[in-house]
Amino acid sequence: MRPSKRDELVRKALPIFYREGFHATGMDALVAETGISKTTMFKHFRTKDELILAVLRYRDETFRNWFFRKLDDKALPPKDRLAAIFDILEEWFEEPAFKGCMFIKASSEFQDPDHPAYAQSAEHKRLLQTAFRSICADAGAHDPELLARQLLILKEGAIVAAHMGFDPEPAAIAKATAEQLIANQIDV
Amino acid sequence: MRPSKRDELVRKALPIFYREGFHATGMDALVAETGISKTTMFKHFRTKDELILAVLRYRDETFRNWFFRKLDDKALPPKDRLAAIFDILEEWFEEPAFKGCMFIKASSEFQDPDHPAYAQSAEHKRLLQTAFRSICADAGAHDPELLARQLLILKEGAIVAAHMGFDPEPAAIAKATAEQLIANQIDV
DNA sequence: CATTATATGTACCGATCAGTTCATTAAGTC
DNA sequence: GACTTAATGAACTGATCGGTACATATAATG
């Protein structure tokens, strides 16, 4: 049971940072809400930034797992998997705890491109794009690279719209858009 | 010359908040970089949050002015104005000081929907959407409301992609996408 | 010149920040 | 039972946070 406390900290710190923000969350607040002592926190992570980075890595892993697991569970033929991306997005938006994309927020708070939190955030999006591209290829898109980049931009825009609340049905709008792109790239 | 110092403060504080973030920028840092005394700052704004709100209002005004002025200057026929949105977006992305959308960042740092900075950020996007819709209507779109919402989501996605750097040509990708949507909605 | 309004510098407030020190406790291993 | 490892609580550091107090300076107006 060696590293369990460390994992517990990362797991419990995630929703706090997600809900309150990174700068706005102090170490003392983490102690109060996680029940883990500050001494222990700084034994596992030398700085707050290192903890934040571990939280972001954990988020990247769990989010992508959750997302593509959901997609796989639908057991759709390749050509229908692309539009289904936006159905899963909608499920996410409707969660009560939804507060936008953690990586968009991380890159908003840590703007220095050399900051590891920024780098990790960009990496998360790149990994999504790679996954999208392979789905596009499986679906028989003429230009999988282009379609994946279009779908990712649509997804990010929908997240921003959902978080800021300026569009009541961002996932549906993005899905309708995606379907046009897909129809133009995939022969029926 | 009554409110000049107040305006000067708002004007000078804007790029600092934009570059460094809201929480990460302290009042002392604003004093150091603007050359305006802290006493004066708190004479014009009762709290830091009020200053931030004034900065966001100023940003909303200047950004929309800049954006639609640029669009008008192109003197395009209505049906070509829509795609041109993404050319202006590209100009913005290529500015050396580009650091993403200030309102996306504000809503990332101030997540409480009741926070005035959050409300102002959402309002900015709503104003853009209204402007987009009227351009869509002028262009003869079948469903101006739908098209405007699609274009705004595309624009936000492109901004995120540009800021996080996971796509080398987000404006071009978004424009190519927009052109498909436009072609589907406007008869030639 | 006198008055009024605005801006300034400096020192200060209590609270909070990230991070440390240290003595104590609890649990697992040999 | 001795030893090691991990976790704890609480007090503490120096720096910074947003914001205030106050006395001085500057400038325009009458």
Q: What is the pLDDT of residue B41?
A: 95
Q: What is the CA radius of gyration of chain B?
A: 18
Contact B157, A155 (CB under 8 A): yes
Phi and psi at A114, nearest 5°, equal: -85, -10
pLDDT tens per residue, range A108-126: 999 999 999 999 999 999 9
* pLDDT greater than 70 at residue B11: yes
Q: For the beta carbon of residue B66, count every other beta carbon within 10 angstroms.
A: 13
Domain that holds residue B105: 56-185
CB-strand contact B79/C, under 7 Å: no
Alpha helices in chain B (DSSP H): 4-20, 27-34, 38-44, 48-73, 78-94, 102-109, 116-138, 144-164, 170-185
Q: What is the pLDDT of residue A187?
A: 80
Residue B89 is assigned to a structural domain of this protein: yes
Q: Who among B113, B170, B180 is closest to A153 (CB)?
A: B170
pLDDT band of A53, cuts 50, 70, 90: very high
- Nearest Cα to Cα of residue B164 among A148, A159, A145, A103: A103
Provide, as residue numbers in chain A, all residues whose Cβ is less than 8 Å from the Cβ of B161. Answer: 125, 152-153, 156
Q: Within window 20-39 on B, which residues have Cβ closer than 7 Å to strand D?
A: 23, 25-29, 38-39
Residue A89 is assigned to a structural domain of this protein: yes
Asked whether the beta carbons of residue B152 and residue A146 sit closer than 8 angstroms, the reply is no
- Nearest Cα to Cα of residue A182 among A155, A159, A151: A151
Residue A93 is assigned to a structural domain of this protein: yes
* Residue percentage of chain B with pLDDT more than 70: 98
CB-strand contact B12/C, under 7 Å: no
pLDDT tens per residue, range B83-108: 999 999 999 999 999 999 999 999 99
Amino acid identity for residue A16 in this structure = I
Residue A26 is assigned to a structural domain of this protein: no
- Nearest Cα to Cα of residue B89 among B13, B43, B23, B151: B151
- Nearest Cα to Cα of residue B93 among B163, B42, B1, B151: B163
Q: What is the CATH number of the domain that holds A92?
A: 1.10.357.10
Specify the DSSP class assigned to residue B141: -
Chain A residue with CA closest to B99: the answer is A111
Which nucleotide's C1' sits nearest to the alpha carbon of A41? D7
Chain B residue with CA closest to A179: the answer is B181
pLDDT band of A5, cuts 50, 70, 90: confident
DSSP, residue by residue, B29-57: HHHHHH---HHHHHHH-SSHHHHHHHHHH
CB-strand contact B48/D, under 7 Å: yes
Distance CA A56, CA A58 (A): 5
CB-strand contact B23/C, under 7 Å: no
Q: Who among A111, A118, A157 is closest to B156 (CB)?
A: A157
pLDDT tens per residue, range A136-177: 999 999 999 999 999 999 999 999 999 999 999 999 999 999
Residue B150 is assigned to a structural domain of this protein: yes
Nearest chain A CA: its distance from B5 CA (Å): 29
Specify the DSSP class assigned to residue B24: T
Q: Who among A23, A173, A184 is closest to B153 (CB)?
A: A173
The tokens describing B37, both together, are: 């005394």
pLDDT tens per residue, range B104-163: 999 999 999 999 999 999 999 999 999 999 999 999 999 999 999 999 999 999 999 999
Residue B47 is assigned to a structural domain of this protein: no
pLDDT band of B3, cuts 50, 70, 90: low
Residue A169 is assigned to a structural domain of this protein: yes
Q: What integer is the mean pLDDT of B25-39?
A: 95
Contact B60, B19 (CB under 8 A): no
CA of B100 to C1' of D18 (A): 27
Specify the DSSP class assigned to residue B96: T
* pLDDT greater than 60 at residue A1: no
CA of B42 to C1' of D20 (A): 10
Residue B87 is assigned to a structural domain of this protein: yes
Asked whether the beta carbons of residue B129 and residue A170 sit closer than 8 angstroms, the reply is no
CB-strand contact B40/C, under 7 Å: yes
The number of distinct structural domains making up chain A is 1
- Nearest Cα to Cα of residue A64 among A141, A131, A4: A131
The tokens describing A148, both together, are: 């994946």
